[in-house]
Amino acid sequence: MLYGLETVSLRKRQESELEVAELKMLRFSLGVTRLDRIRNEYIRGTAHVGRFGDKVREARLRWFGHVQRREIIRPIKHICNKHLL
């Protein structure tokens, strides 16, 4: 679910929709239905998965770190530096 989200800006609604989809997949893989009324935090803990928004932020920071280590002549480095100023 995180593939390519390092460079995409998400609105709160889009992030929420992705989190709902992730929880739906986790419920399916654990054999839990909404009728069982099990809290999302318990499902995430059972599956050893963190919150979706936190994982996206970690992936973005990891990508940003890779960009910052690039040589100064790379175009992506210039683009990122201009947006930071």
Rounded alpha-carbon distances, angstroms, from residue 48 to 17, 30, 41, 51, 80: 20, 12, 10, 10, 33
Residues 6+ apart with CB under 8 A from 62: 6
Tokens of 81: 């530096």
Per-chain mean pLDDT for the chain: 85
pLDDT one-digit tens code per residue, 55-83: 888 888 888 888 778 777 767 766 766 65
pLDDT one-digit tens code per residue, 17-56: 999 999 999 999 999 999 999 999 999 999 999 888 888 8
Contact predicate 4/59, CB 8 Å: no
